[in-house]
Structure 1
């Protein structure tokens, strides 16, 4: 008999959510996280309806609603004019909550379920042996081998285990550089705003506690608070105050997809399976949706003593392709543009915001259909 039902390599938001879903149904889950301290980086903030449904199933949806900020809507602006607006509400809620709080709520839930995260625990290697997976792990006491019926690889975009498995990692479209900073909002509201300007995108998302996240595309060096402040002012005419000592964080938005997600009893999950532009938390929400889809298949396979996960690889690939198409569209809308390109882009945004197409635009923004 294997030592565990499932081992999850990586305690990011996707790995922990899957752990909650499995542990709630009595599965023996070991979650290994190589970092000993909690990740306090701001990172993803958006919680979309498909992700919220997964959080509900994991038992933390109400806590996320209580701490998160429910957005009233989103607006798209360019050259001082509002081009389109969408509204959110009870049927399609969109929330913002800094990722450290989402992490904390999932960790607390896992502890209550009797499956706390094993920190300082690294998965070094894994190989399949008959009806189980042998996993080599290391911690402060050294290394040891353990076994599980399944191994979930949720160790992120730069997954070492994915490379160990020899799985292809294919680029989809172009990448782009962004910077972001969270600052106090002097006039807080619950509306997200996108400025698709000729010099490049500027986004602002309201956060709980009277703060706002600002995101700027098309960076130049040196990247510091002064440059960020001037970029926002030059592109939008808006002045933002960045407190002393706060430096914008830089990141690259890119699209990749693993050649396959299911390899017998080893499954790639979350960012290890697909990289989606992180703007708006799309990758995190897609990973949660994958975990929600995977959980009943894993539980059924464990009951049957089987290894098959019917349709999961195909359905996951289709959902990732849909999400990447949406993300690629957003990135095109946010690139620097010539006057001719800017005029065409503004016309398209106005059309998407018109009454006949507004429902489709809302579906696009809220990640409907995953």
Structure 2
């Protein structure tokens, strides 16, 4: 149940788990634990959920992520609302370099993260032992030996939230990560992209289109409601960022623009990769983007966070059943660090393939893409891009 205002009483019982961050990963973890009957509180800084039409960077629901959503009872709703992506097609300068059709068991589904979060919120309303407290700004952690007190403010008043374990699911700019003195280590190089959603006039409603052009990649993906998302790599952020600017970039590279009148507000972002060290300390663990920032190129971050939440829910359940010992997260840390490194390597490969290139390097890159599109490499590539390696 949602409690937008009330502060925690001094005599409040100790929660099993306090989750800081009410995004897609934090809400999923709360659902997993709540379904087991655990007493969970979610502390979210925002006072209201994002509106349904709010922009959302993550849209890809991969097969392993969908399997986790099935565990909390919203998988069928996601299937109903999402658009299925059945194939991917790679072109360069108007020529097809390769195509990949995903098997039925490996279909990717496109649904904005905001819509998944709304489904998770609805599921939480059915779980009596889970509370979502909005408007809480976490400022500190107090270790009491047998539990941790999460310190914060809500509506100008100080609140103390005691819990046997605390999970930081508060994103790339995680405050919990700072509070446990975890380092935020960069891995590899970054890149800059612009993104815009508009009406889909491609006629390829179930196809991801990847234009590996000499001046940089343009990717586009189908979305619900007859929309398509365009993502283009750029050398630097445009001084004027509007739909006509993004459409001009797309048209200059692919020969086809898009309807700017039907477009939403474009955004620019820097794709970077970081890994927290440590991912857990004592009674506090990090999950999702708080633990690892993976480039959104390839759409792995949200799904990786869900799988991490599922793993963490098992570890938390075992620890709580054993009397809530200290340092319960060693196995979780090892596994999630390995998974994050694999995802980052794949994301780095994706970014290299879409970088600006010319001359001999362009021909070599295109030849590599053609080879990857041949059997049996094609099946392995499809497995990698749909995250079935997890």
- TM-score (normalised: structure 2): 0.92
Please say if residues 201 and 217 of structure 1, whose CA atoms lie closer than 8 Å, have aligned partners that are also in contact: yes
Please say if residues 108 and 386 of structure 2, whose CA atoms lie closer than 8 Å, have aligned partners that are also in contact: yes
Q: Aligned to 1:80, which of 88, 91, 94?
A: 94
Distance (whole Å) between structure 2 residues aligned to residue 86 and residue 244 of structure 1: 29
Aligned residue number for residue 164 of structure 1: 179
Q: Aligned to 1:209, which of 211, 214, 225?
A: 225
Distance (whole Å) between structure 2 residues aligned to residue 263 and residue 199 of structure 1: 44
Q: What RMSD over aligned residues (CA atoms) do the two structures have, in Å?
A: 1.5
Q: Which stretch of structure 1 is more off in the superposition, 92-101 or 324-333?
A: 92-101
Distance (whole Å) between structure 1 residues aligned to residue 98 and residue 365 of structure 2: 12
Cα offset, 1:43, TM superposition:
1.4
Please say if residues 44 and 280 of structure 1, whose CA atoms lie closer than 8 Å, have aligned partners that are also in contact: no
Aligned residue number for residue 223 of structure 1: 241
Q: Aligned to 1:52, which of 43, 66, 75?
A: 66
Cα offset, 1:234, TM superposition:
1.0
Residues paired across the two proteins, number: 370
Distance (whole Å) between structure 2 residues aligned to residue 31 and residue 94 of structure 1: 29
Cα offset, 1:2, TM superposition:
5.5
Q: Aligned to 1:278, which of 296, 301, 304?
A: 296
Aligned residue number for residue 30 of structure 2: 19
Cα offset, 1:245, TM superposition:
7.5
Structure 1 residue 359 and structure 2 residue 359: aligned?
Answer: no
Q: Aligned to 2:315, which of 271, 288, 297?
A: 297
List aligned pairs for 1:299-314, cutoff 5 A: 299-305=317-323, 306-307=325-326, 308-314=328-334
Please say if residues 288 and 308 of structure 2, whose CA atoms lie closer than 8 Å, have aligned partners that are also in contact: yes
List aligned pairs for 1:90-239, cutoff 5 A: 90-114=104-128, 115-140=130-155, 142-186=157-201, 187=203, 189-218=205-234, 219=236, 220-239=238-257
Q: Which stretch of structure 1 is more off in the superposition, 223-232 or 355-364?
A: 223-232
Cα offset, 1:230, TM superposition:
1.2
Aligned residue number for residue 264 of structure 1: 282
Cα offset, 1:309, TM superposition:
3.1
Structure 1 residue runs of 4+, over 4 Å off? none
Distance (whole Å) between structure 2 residues aligned to residue 244 and residue 3 of structure 1: 51
Please say if residues 273 and 295 of structure 2, whose CA atoms lie closer than 8 Å, have aligned partners that are also in contact: yes
Cα offset, 1:246, TM superposition:
3.6
Q: Which stretch of structure 1 is more off in the superposition, 320-329 or 300-309?
A: 300-309
Give ranges in structure 1 of 5+ residues lacking alignment.
Answer: none
Give ranges in structure 2 of 5+ residues lacking alignment.
Answer: 1-11
